C-alpha cells in the first residue's frame, strides 16, 4: 500500500506528474502497466479542479497585495497572449489538450491549468481538455516505459 501511495502522490507533484510516477511504479515497484497507469492518472487529475478555481483567486489576491506582482504578471500574461494567441484562438480546447498530452518537460496538468488561465479558457472546457490530455499522456508514458523496459531486457539480458 505504501508503494501505491508513493506512486499516487508522485503523480500529484508539479515536476514529476505522470512522467515520473508511471516509470517509478513500473520499473521500481514492479506494478503492472494498468495499475501504474490508473494510479498515475488519478494522482495527476486530483489537483486540476483546485488549481483551476484557485489560481484566479490567488492571482487576484497577490495582485492587490503586491504592486510588483501585479506589474510583472500583467506584463507576462500580456506578452504570452500576444505571442501565442493565434495558436489558441481557434484551437483553444484542442491546443490545450495537445499541450497537456505531449509528455515533455514543462507540459502537463499544472502547465495546462496555467495556460487555460492565461488564455481565458472556460473552466469546464479547460477541465475536460486537461483530463483528456492527462489520459493521453498517461498512455504515451506507459507505452514508452513498457517498450523501453522490454528493449532494455532484450538487448542486455540475452
Q: Is 118 left (phi over 0), alpha (psi -120 to 50) or beta?
A: alpha
Give the closest residue to 110 by CA, choosing from 47, 19, 32: 47
**What pLDDT does residue 34 have?**
97
Residue bearing cell 489560481: 55
**What pLDDT does residue 84 have?**
65
**What pLDDT does residue 86 have?**
65
**What pLDDT does residue 158 have?**
63
Q: What is the 3-state secondary structure (H, E, C) of 67-89?
A: HHHHHHHHHHHHHHHHHHHHHHH
In angstroms, the CA 44 to CA 55 distance is 17
List per-residue pLDDT tens for the chain, 158 residues long. Answer: 899 999 999 999 998 999 999 999 999 999 999 999 999 999 999 999 899 998 888 877 877 777 777 777 778 777 776 766 666 666 778 889 999 999 988 889 999 998 888 888 889 999 999 999 999 999 999 999 999 999 988 888 76
**What pLDDT does residue 57 have?**
83
pTM across the whole model:
0.85
List of residues 6+ apart from 141 with CB closer than 8 A: 18, 19, 22, 23, 40, 103
**What pLDDT does residue 45 have?**
95
In angstroms, the CA 106 to CA 86 distance is 21
**What pLDDT does residue 78 have?**
76
**What pLDDT does residue 85 have?**
66
Amino acid at each position: 500500500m505504501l508503494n501505491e501511495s508513493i506512486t499516487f502522490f508522485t503523480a500529484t507533484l508539479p515536476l514529476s506528474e505522470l512522467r515520473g510516477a508511471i516509470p517509478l511504479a513500473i520499473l521500481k515497484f514492479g506494478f503492472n502497466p494498468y495499475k501504474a497507469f490508473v494510479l498515475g492518472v488519478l494522482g495527476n487529475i486530483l489537483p486540476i479542479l483546485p488549481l483551476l478555481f484557485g489560481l484566479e483567486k490567488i492571482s487576484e489576491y497577490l495582485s492587490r497585495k503586491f504592486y510588483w506582482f501585479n506589474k510583472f504578471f500583467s506584463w507576462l500574461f500580456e506578452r504570452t497572449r500576444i505571442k501565442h494567441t493565434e495558436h489558441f484562438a481557434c484551437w483553444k480546447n484542442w491546443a490545450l489538450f495537445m499541450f497537456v498530452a505531449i509528455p515533455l518537460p514543462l507540459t502537463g496538468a499544472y502547465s495546462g491549468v496555467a495556460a487555460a488561465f492565461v488564455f481565458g479558457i472556460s473552466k469546464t472546457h479547460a477541465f475536460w481538455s486537461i483530463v483528456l490530455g492527462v489520459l493521453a499522456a498517461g498512455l504515451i508514458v506507459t507505452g514508452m516505459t513498457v517498450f523501453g523496459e522490454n528493449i532494455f531486457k532484450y538487448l542486455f539480458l540475452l
